[in-house]
Copies of this chain bind each other. A is one copy, B any other.
Amino acid sequence: MVLRTVSRHAELRDLLQNTRQRSLALAAPLSDADASVQSMPDASPAKWHLAHTTWFFETFVLTPHVAGYAVFDPAYGYLFNSYYEAAGPRLRRDRRGMLTRPSLAEILAWRAHVDAALDAAIDDLPEAARTLATLGCHHEQQHQELLLTDILHLFSENPLAPAFAPDAPFPPAARDAAHDWAAHPGGIVSIGHGGDGFAFDCETPRHDVLLQPFALGSRLVTNAEWTAFIDDGGYRTPSLWLSDGWAWVQREAVSAPLYRERGDTGWSAMTLAGRQPVDPAAPATHVSYFEADAFARWAGARLPREAEWEAMAESPALSQMFGVCWQWTETAYAAYPRFRPAAGAVGEYNGKFMCGQFVLRGSSCATPPGHSRSSYRNFFYPHQRWQFTGVRLAKDMGTDAS
């Protein structure tokens, strides 16, 4: 990534303390076992998230930039590197759940060690190190969201359907139930991060895009609307689906969003508060791109393009843009014109994933405070749905010529 503005020392100290402390608070309800198990290759154990984010500070900030810093345990580099080829070999992603040792308590001790070293060093950190430390905080915020969605997946695999926390985040219903269209006249718009504040490299450079007139839905698609799609045979109608999506529906026997089940008393869904009745007014969530695309086609609409979404991000006519569900766009995740990955190992952060994934915009109920912005680009493969993913519709509007 490219850090547009380097945080000053005091700001960085606050950011670090808040971020590092929040991870501990999130993990508090978890047992050693909860924190160690990997429920699928796409997910990581909570302990691994706590460790990997710590490894990031140790590897990219403390070791190269703080004289005399003693690495806590040299073996941890191999265990908790995620995918940075430049940072050396690493444990296979699908074996992260084998690490019953080090224990959660040992990882917490490592975190304390690193936090103390950062705190002691912060006033003397050079600009390059502060840039990386700021990145480390935003990186940790991303893992905070993953920690929650990965725990939800783990608990969904447990027939006891345990609750993570009674007050855990969930996607709230819109303040206004009516669905309306908010129009945009098209023309040349600027998108991408260009101002002050932090952004990941893939959000840059800011650049112009030519849009045709369009409109976005004023709120997200609701559970009630999704139930109508199901009841209308949406999951059994091949003409609604992309070819790969239809193959996925058949191979995986998909008939509803992830975690949703129909029982004798109606629909329920596994949530971070355990299994709960489905609120018809709340947004449909845990849907794949394939499902989002099929739903939009069924509804006579389409998904937004990412530039359309960003062009409307500040519109007062639109609700649920941030903090509810990530919103699938029909835009494949790719480099912006003149994109340059960040220098060094952290250049592997975003660019190497620009293939086969779709952009999601906004943020979700599980996104940490301060982590949302209009230019943010999230991305997942079209079959993935264990994140809090939802659907905002879009449509074309008439032009002067028509």
Cβ B352 vs Cβ A100 within 8 A = no
Besides the known contacts A37-B97, A99-B158, A209-B210, 6 further A-B residue pairs in the complex with CB atoms under 8 A apart: A33-B101, A79-B160, A101-B158, A243-B352, A245-B355, A246-B352
List of B residues within 8 angstroms of A154 by Cβ: 98, 100
Cβ A353 vs Cβ B36 within 8 A = no
* A176, CB-defined interface residue at 8 Å: no
Query: A18-26, A83-91, A219-227: which lies at the B interface?
Result: A83-91
Instruction: Point out the residue from B75, B85, B243 that lies within 8 Å of A159, measured CB to CB.
Output: B75
Taking the closest CB of chain B, its distance from the CB of A205, in whole angstroms, is: 10
Instruction: Point out the residue from B36, B99, B162, B337 that lies within 8 Å of A36, measured CB to CB.
Output: B36
Cβ A382 vs Cβ B355 within 8 A = yes
**Could you give 27 example pairs across A and B, Cβ below 8 Å?**
A33-B33, A33-B35, A33-B36, A33-B47, A34-B101, A37-B37, A37-B97, A78-B159, A83-B243, A91-B159, A95-B157, A98-B157, A99-B158, A101-B158, A102-B160, A207-B212, A209-B210, A212-B338, A239-B348, A241-B352, A242-B352, A242-B355, A243-B353, A243-B355, A244-B355, A244-B356, A356-B382
Query: Hey, what's the 0/1 contact readout for A147-159 against B, CB within 8 Å counting as 1?
Result: 0000000100111
* A269, CB-defined interface residue at 8 Å: no
With A33-B100, A396-B338 as given contacts, are A354 and B158 in contact (CB-CB < 8 Å)?
no
List of B residues within 8 angstroms of A104 by Cβ: 33
Cβ A162 vs Cβ B238 within 8 A = no
Determine the residue in chain B with the shortest Cβ distance to A30: B100
List of B residues within 8 angstroms of A101 by Cβ: 31, 33-34, 158, 160, 162
Q: How large is the interface on A (under 10, 10 to 19, 20 to 34, 35 or more residues)?
A: 35 or more
List of B residues within 8 angstroms of A36 by Cβ: 33, 36-37, 100
Q: How far is the CA of A311 from the CA of B1 in the complex (A)?
A: 31
Determine the residue in chain B with the shortest Cβ distance to A348: B239
Determine the residue in chain B with the shortest Cβ distance to A290: B355
With A33-B36, A35-B33 as given contacts, are A158 and B98 in contact (CB-CB < 8 Å)?
yes
Cβ B332 vs Cβ A334 within 8 A = yes
Q: How far is the CA of A83 from the CA of B78 in the complex (A)?
A: 38
List of B residues within 8 angstroms of A31 by Cβ: 32, 100-101, 103
Q: Which 9 pairs between the two chains have the least Cβ-Cβ distance?
A: A332-B332, A33-B36, A98-B157, A210-B210, A33-B100, A85-B238, A32-B32, A32-B33, A34-B100
Q: How far is the CA of A100 from the CA of B335 in the complex (A)?
A: 41
Query: Hey, what's the 0/1 contact readout for A203-215 against B, CB within 8 Å counting as 1?
Result: 0000111101000
Identify which of residues 328-365 in chain A touch chain B, using a CB-to-CB cut-off of 8 Å: 330-332, 334-335, 337-338, 348, 352-356
Cβ B338 vs Cβ A33 within 8 A = no
Q: How far is the CA of A78 from the CA of B31 in the complex (A)?
A: 22
Cβ A75 vs Cβ B382 within 8 A = no
Cβ B37 vs Cβ A98 within 8 A = yes
Q: How far is the CA of A90 from the CA of B354 in the complex (A)?
A: 35
